[in-house]
Amino acid sequence: MPLTSGLYWEAEGATTAPALLLSSGLGGSAHYWAPNIEALRQHYRVITYDHRGTGRSDRALPETVTVSDFAADMLAVLDAVEVGSAHIVGHALGAVAGLTLAARAPDRLGKLVMVNGWAAPDPHFARCFDARLALLRDSGVRAYVKAQPIFLYPADWSSRHTVQLDSEEDGHVAAFPAVATLEARIAALRAFDISLLLDQIAAPTLVLSAADDALVPPSCADVLAERLPNATARRMAWGGHACNVTDPEGFNALVLEYLGS
């Protein structure tokens, strides 16, 4: 698929089906959704993309970016696919970008699913960002990639999938974005605060969180569920930050139930 506005995108499923845009977290890769696409495309035209600065998209990124820029890229992808409006499932960074789009372009959004998202910076994930950046700067990309499962997955899942995680390490290192790109994306998340607008965002929103998320405290989801006028809250008992990867069947069922309701 050619680049559109510097963004690489793919669409799967029937062109007559409702559109569903998937937006990943800090890593930015469309591949993140591999465990979910097959189930979702049975009902929707599933659109995935690599975030600007990552993957197969344009690797050039301004020194300063904002979450509003991430939302603008979502709109650019929808325009490229010639979709007027779509449901959006966003994970972490993708979730807050989707929430920003809901506030600024509500006519382009059907339903929003926020997976382990937030409305404002939280001290715990700020501490995690500091630790990850220090690891990247002081020990390099491979050490950062090696530590990723600690933040993303429950410990028992990582133990059972050690061979898989080790086999994927070289690929993640080779595809890793520039350090400056990761720093700019994290800075955008640190600066993001949409708290004062929450009661004005009317989009039907599933606030989906995992009770054992080691990166984003579930209390962040509680704030969203309490403040968004049309929120529905669901909490997975297990799955960690990347709950769509560790428990794809449970995750897919929750998302399909909500979007189809």
* Concatenated DSSP letters of 116-131: S--SS--HHHHHHHHH
Closest CA to 216 of 97, 102, 96, 103: 96
Closest CA to 168 of 37, 12, 41, 34: 34
Residue type, 49: Y
How far apart (Å, rounded) are the C-alpha atoms in residues 238 and 231?
21
Is 178 a residue whose pLDDT tops 80? yes
In this predicted structure, what is the pLDDT of residue 63?
85
* SS3 at position 82: coil
For residues 147-164, one letter each, b for 16 or more C-beta atoms within 10 angstroms of the residue's C-beta and e for the rest, the string is ebbebbbbeebbeebeee
The domains located in the chain, with CATH, are 9-260 (3.40.50.1820)
Q: What integer is the mean pLDDT of 248-259?
A: 98
Handedness of CA 158, 233, 125, 237 (dihedral sign): negative
Cβ atoms of 226 and 232 closer than 8 Å? no
Q: What integer is the mean pLDDT of 173-192?
A: 96
* SS3 at position 230: coil
Number of CB atoms found within 10 A of residue 175's CB: 15
Q: What integer is the mean pLDDT of 81-91?
A: 97
Mean pLDDT, the chain, integer: 97
In this predicted structure, what is the pLDDT of residue 246?
98
Q: Read off the pLDDT of residues 19-34 as tens digits, 9 standing for 90 and up.
A: 999 999 999 999 999 9
How far apart (Å, rounded) are the C-alpha atoms in residues 243 and 256?
15
Which residues, at least 6 apart from 227, have a Cβ–Cβ distance to it below 8 Å?
Answer: 119, 195, 198, 199
Q: What integer is the mean pLDDT of 65-75?
A: 98
Q: Read off the pLDDT of residues 105-121 as tens digits, 9 standing for 90 and up.
A: 999 999 999 999 999 99
The answer to whether the pTM exceeds 0.95 is: yes
Is 83 a residue whose pLDDT tops 90? yes
Closest CA to 120 of 198, 209, 211, 25: 198
Cβ atoms of 116 and 106 closer than 8 Å? no
pLDDT band at 77 (very low <50, low <70, confident <90, very high): very high
In this predicted structure, what is the pLDDT of residue 135?
96
In this predicted structure, what is the pLDDT of residue 1?
57
CA distances from 234 to 54, 138, 167, 228, 229 (A): 30, 38, 33, 14, 16
In this predicted structure, what is the pLDDT of residue 4?
85
| Residue 227, both tokens | 């403040």
Residue with tokens 């959704």: 33
Is 192 a residue whose pLDDT tops 80? yes
